[in-house]
């Protein structure tokens, strides 16, 4: 499997015209310490978070096995002590693995040669038992985080010293936990519905997450045919922050670092349709 397609770094090999891709670490938003790509400059709001080496990375989401995924930085020691440090991948490139038309080492099938690192088979796991900042074969570790003071197994979105995403990007070749697939056919009795997110127009869908929000609010819509305006409105009807979902994009991020705790409303409009969703900010 091509390594760059196993991860989420749009700076790796995506041409500027029309390729679907994911944004993991902001390697294409001029935020790397060494900038190597401007592929995604048209969509500056699509990054999941901005790396801050002095703070524990935020909770980005959860893997299929249910364990949390964090950004690139965490506590040095697994018990939550020590300075904030970069969590490091324990995978490194093998040597002498030039491949021709396939992932098998030294295979020669046809004439197209791939660079070392194109396939995930080019990487090998090397343990670092004396350094707790190196992750295991799943790209995670048991540790204390701000959200889990008692400790939990966590995955990390790994980057190198220049903040470029590094293999295996988020989750290793295998998951730590078990993945249970099931189909939900009914809602259990006693379930509390927090928000229905009903839309005024079936073609105008807006998803707000997280809610309640702490560090940021992510606003996601279907692919925008035209620029959309996004407003964060307080209970007095005053606009406290604004943003846009640019044409061709699907996501905007509103940072909440300068906003007080309380109840707000996110208003999204494309000029014809309006969707308003209540959001709670609790930092």
pLDDT in tens, 102-129: 666 555 555 566 677 777 888 889 999 9
Nearest-5° angle of CA 258, CA 260, CA 261? Answer: 135
- Quick one: 257 and 131 in the same domain? no
pTM, two decimal places:
0.53
pLDDT at 11 exceeding the cut of 50: no
Do 47 and 84 fall into the same domain?
A: yes
Report the range of poorest mean pLDDT among 13-27, 48-62, 95-109, 177-191: 13-27
Q: Residue 245 phi/psi, 5° resolution?
A: -105, 110
In a domain, 150, yes or no: yes
Q: Is the pLDDT of residue 59 over 50?
A: yes
Does 213 lie in the same domain as 116? no
Q: Is 102 in the same domain as 132? A: no
Same domain for 234 and 270? yes
Tell me, what CATH number does 262's domain have? 2.60.40.3080
Domain membership of residue 155 (yes or no) is yes
Identify whether the C-beta of residue 168 lies closer than 8 Å to the C-beta of residue 91. Answer: yes
R_g (Cα) of the chain, nearest Å: 21
Secondary structure (3-state) at 232: strand
For 18, 23, 91, 148, the CA distances from 178, given in Å and listed in that order, are 35, 26, 22, 20
Residues 16 and 18: their CA atoms lie apart, in Å, by: 7
Do 215 and 247 lie in a common domain? yes
Tokens of 138: 């799943």
33 pLDDT more than 60? yes
Instruction: Decide if 117 is inside a domain.
Output: yes
**Number of folded domains that form the chain:** 3
Domain hosting residue 73, numbered range:
1-90+127-181
Same domain membership, residue 84 and residue 27: yes
**Max CA-CA distance within the chain?**
68
Q: Is residue 31 part of a domain?
A: yes
Residue 234 lies in a domain: yes
| Same-domain status, 62 and 157 | yes
Residue 240 and residue 265: Cα distance in Å, rounded?
10
- What percent of the chain lies above the pLDDT cut of 70? 67
Sequence-distant (≥ 6) Cβ neighbours of residue 31 within 8 angstroms: 47, 50, 51, 163
Return the H-helix or E-strand segment holding 5.
helix 3-6
Residues 77 and 3 in one domain: yes
Do 98 and 141 have their domain in common? no
Q: What's the first-to-final CA gap in the chain, in angstroms? A: 41
Residue-wise pLDDT for 198-240, tens only, equals 344 545 678 888 888 888 888 888 777 788 899 998 877 788 8
What backbone phi and psi angles, to 5 degrees, belong to 80?
A: 90, 5
Band of the pLDDT at 283, cuts 50, 70, 90?
confident
């Amino acid at each position: 499997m091509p390594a760059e397609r196993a991860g989420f770094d749009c700076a790796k090999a995506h041409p500027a015209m029309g390729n679907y891709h994911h944004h993991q670490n902001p390697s294409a938003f001029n935020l790397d310490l060494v900038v190597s790509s401007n592929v995604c400059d048209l969509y500056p709001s699509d990054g999941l978070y901005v790396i801050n080496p002095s703070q524990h990375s935020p909770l980005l989401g959860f893997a299929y096995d249910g364990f949390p995924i964090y950004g690139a930085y965490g506590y040095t020691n697994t018990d939550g002590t020590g300075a904030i440090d970069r969590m490091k991948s324990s995978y490194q490139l093998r040597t002498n693995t030039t491949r021709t038309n396939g992932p098998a080492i030294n295979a020669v099938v046809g004439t197209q040669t791939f660079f070392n690192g194109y396939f995930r088979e080019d990487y090998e796991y090397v343990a670092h038992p004396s350094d707790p900042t190196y992750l295991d074969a799943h790209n995670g570790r048991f540790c204390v985080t701000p959200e889990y003071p008692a400790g939990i197994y966590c995955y990390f979105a790994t980057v190198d010293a220049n903040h470029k995403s590094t293999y295996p990007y988020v989750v290793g070749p295998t998951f730590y936990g078990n993945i249970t697939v099931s189909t939900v056919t009914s809602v259990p009795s006693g379930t509390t519905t927090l928000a229905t997110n009903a839309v005024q127009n079936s073609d105008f869908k807006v998803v707000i997450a997280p809610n309640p929000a702490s560090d940021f609010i992510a606003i996601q819509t279907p692919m925008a045919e035209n620029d959309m305006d996004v407003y964060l409105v307080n209970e007095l009807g005053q606009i406290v922050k604004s943003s846009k979902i640019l044409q061709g994009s699907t996501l905007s991020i509103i940072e909440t670092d300068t906003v007080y705790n309380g109840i707000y409303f996110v208003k999204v409009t494309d000029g014809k349709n309006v969707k308003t969703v209540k959001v709670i900010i609790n930092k």
